[in-house]
Amino acid sequence: MTDITQTFLSAIETELQRQVARLDQPHTAEFHSMLTYHMGWTGEGAGPRTTGKRIRPLLVLLTAAASSKTGAWQDALPAAAAVELVHNFSLVHDDIQDNSDTRRGRATVWVKWGMPQAINAGDGLFILANLAMSDLENGYPAGTVVRAARILQNTCLDLTRGQYLDISYETRADLDIESYWPMIAGKTAALLSACTEIGALLGGADEGALAAYRDFGRHLGLAFQVQDDYLGIWGDSALTGKSTASDLVAGKKSLPVLYGLAQNGDFAKRWHAGPVAAGQVSALAEQLALEGGRDFTRRAADQLTGKALDALREAAPQGEAGGALFALADRLLGRQA
Amino acid sequence: MTDITQTFLSAIETELQRQVARLDQPHTAEFHSMLTYHMGWTGEGAGPRTTGKRIRPLLVLLTAAASSKTGAWQDALPAAAAVELVHNFSLVHDDIQDNSDTRRGRATVWVKWGMPQAINAGDGLFILANLAMSDLENGYPAGTVVRAARILQNTCLDLTRGQYLDISYETRADLDIESYWPMIAGKTAALLSACTEIGALLGGADEGALAAYRDFGRHLGLAFQVQDDYLGIWGDSALTGKSTASDLVAGKKSLPVLYGLAQNGDFAKRWHAGPVAAGQVSALAEQLALEGGRDFTRRAADQLTGKALDALREAAPQGEAGGALFALADRLLGRQA
């Protein structure tokens, strides 16, 4: 990891704690502690593994620095905190909606404090994100603050549209491959696109570079998700034979699964027959590969990765931050597990 | 109801529908329909009874018009829509948190579409509120838009603090009367206070009048809630003998109940003995009155009502909207059932 990335990550953590501390008030200490727990700072095992990778705020700061004439980034910190708070708001609600009891190796908020408090904790994180955005006023003209806030809110609306589709897909039998894209466009790509667009706006990029950065973020998100879907079936941890990490066991309607269902062959027949046990994962993954699902997914990921890197080159990020932005993209898109 | 109030209510409904229509897009028609159902426009029995009274947006517009030199209010419409959307976001989540299956005489969103979609629908309403706020840009300088948004977000944080307390109080046995105020300050008073403060800001009120309007909203909210607590035990519908509408049956820790528990007399003994049946409501309400709970609550409501009207007089609202503001306060504070 580059030096500038380390510097940014440390500044992000400090800013996040400052934003969340708005809730550290009389009467609501326990409410505050739900959020510090979810953010990974307190509770059992708290440390780098429980905070997550902070990819989104890093994208904001790197884009701001790489598109700024002076390389300045400090004033963009509240926006970096805001996107991470939005991400975490969606995770807290997602865990309730999916009935997930662990995240990053620990009990989820709803498991520890109950569903009603967890809904409220998620709401609180989102509101803290919005308040962080208004702190941009200290470093930017009000018109820029309003524009940045509008980008983030439109993105959040996309997030809820993606979430609506994701939930409704669980019970739908008529899905085709095309159903996949609007869902991940909302769930994964929208927020990454907002990170790079807001970063470019705060860095003072011209409208052309801003559009290129936005495209970079969007394709980075799409490529990352398709790659994630690939690894969810053919990655090392999904294929260890008795692994339950496979998306096939979870019944997730990922891109390769939707491809396989569209072929209407042996894979589809087995999928419709009922839940897949861990012991059947390896053979079923092989069957899906035989029907073309692995190549199809690989090609889609490669195409999207190409588009992401093309857009980034077009944006022409500058300086040390520019180099770190390419390195981050490589790290996200080249991962093998 | 005055003419101006009717004009405003009609404009509010149109603006709300325009804001919610952001979700009327390909792939997410059903998501949109969850929101139009909750807002009272579609589904069984849709009509004035299912939309609610729109008190909050009315307060925004009346305050804007009454504090403006020209009586203008149209540009404030997006803010009026925003506060109503915030209110409804909190209702959708509240219904899940409280396990309530009806609202305004109809099935709640989670009952119709399931808990996961209902969490997401609430999130969507809140995001639409934030987008509505950014539409203020069409009528006001960006600095005013940022200030109004900050007022609303601080208020939303107060809402979640109140909600946190409300949920945590359900299982706490050590509550005293003083526990009551921070809870209703967040749950009820904060949003009404934001309505009048934002209205005054958009109307161009000076800082003194703005503070008076904010105080008016806050005391109006507190008085309304205490009045509501009074009627929840001694109002006509709570006292009809076999009524289950009584807060005593619901086990709600309202102001009179907290007062009664602090007396540690026969009322407290009965309360601690377990759930109250509908047939016991009348005698228990009488016991609480004997111990001083009715007078105490009545006095608190009267004091807060006095403070609300004092603040409104200090704000000196002008014109037809000013008269309508006093009439609205009287209607809210003088209600008998």
CB < 8 Å to A124, chain B: 157, 160, 164
Q: Which of these, B114, B84, B80, lies nearest to B96 by C-alpha position?
A: B114
To 5 degrees, how large is the angle CA B112–CA B115–CA B118? 70
The CATH number of the domain holding residue B273 is 1.10.600.10
| Closest CA in chain A for residue B149 | A134
- Structural domains counted in chain B: 1
pTM for the predicted model, two decimal places:
0.95
B242 vs B158: which has the higher pLDDT: B158
**A130, A161, A167 member nearest B130 (Cβ):** A130
Residue A139 CB neighbour total at 10 angstroms: 16
Q: What is the ipTM of this complex?
A: 0.95
Q: Is the Cα dihedral A230, A232, A237, A240 positive or negative?
A: negative
Distance of CA A69 to the CA centre of its chain: 28
Look at residue B113 and tell me whether its pLDDT is greater than 50.
yes
Tokens for A58?
Answer: 């890093």
pLDDT digits (tens, 9 = 90+) for A75-118: 999 999 999 999 999 999 999 999 999 999 999 999 999 999 99
Query: Which of the four pLDDT bands, split at 50, 70 and 90, describes residue A337?
Result: very low
Residue A251 — left, alpha, or beta (φ > 0 → left; ψ -120 to 50 → alpha)? left
Query: For an interface test with A, which of B24, B97, B119, B175 has the most A Cβ atoms less than 10 Å from its Cβ?
Result: B119
Amino acid at B225: Q
Does A153 sit within 8 Å of B134, measured CB to CB?
yes
Determine phi and psi for A102, rounding to 5 degrees. -130, 150
CB < 8 Å to B126, chain A: 123, 126
Burial B46-78 (b: 16+ CB within 10 A, else e): eeeebbbebbbbbbbbbbbbbbbeebebebbbb
To 5 degrees, how large is the angle CA A138–CA A144–CA A147? 130
To 5 degrees, how large is the angle CA A54–CA A55–CA A59? 120
What is the structure's pLDDT at B325?
96
To 5 degrees, how large is the angle CA B222–CA B162–CA B206? 55
- Indicate the average pLDDT of chain A: 94
Report how far residue A270's alpha carbon sits from residue B335's, in angstroms, rounded to the nearest whole number: 64
To 5 degrees, how large is the angle CA A258–CA A261–CA A262? 90
Tokens for A76?
Answer: 């963009």
Residue A204 CB neighbour total at 10 angstroms: 16
Does B116 sit within 8 Å of A96, measured CB to CB?
yes
Q: Are strands B106-107 and B102-103 parallel, antiparallel or unpaired?
A: antiparallel
Domain range for B168? 3-333
Does A116 sit within 8 Å of B160, measured CB to CB?
no
Contacts of A257 (CB under 8 A, 6+ apart): A233, A247, A248, A271, A288, A293
CB < 8 Å to A145, chain B: 142, 146
**Cα pseudo-dihedral A166, A170, A175, A180, rounded to 10:** 30
pLDDT digits (tens, 9 = 90+) for B246-265: 899 988 999 999 999 999 99
Does B117 sit within 8 Å of A164, measured CB to CB?
yes
Q: Which of these, A18, A42, A26, lies nearest to A131 by C-alpha position?
A: A18
Determine phi and psi for B103, rounding to 5 degrees. -145, 130
Q: Is the Cα dihedral A22, A25, A27, A28 positive or negative?
A: positive
Look at residue B11 and tell me whether its pLDDT is greater than 80.
yes
Amino acid at A97: Q
The residue with tokens 């603050």 is A145
Report how far residue A34's alpha carbon sits from residue A113's, in angstroms, rounded to the nearest whole number: 8
Contact of B8 with B58, CB cutoff 8 Å: yes
Does A157 sit within 8 Å of B128, measured CB to CB?
yes
What is the structure's pLDDT at A173?
81
Percent of chain B at pLDDT > 70 equals 97
| Closest CA in chain A for residue B20 | A157
Residue B141 CB neighbour total at 10 angstroms: 13
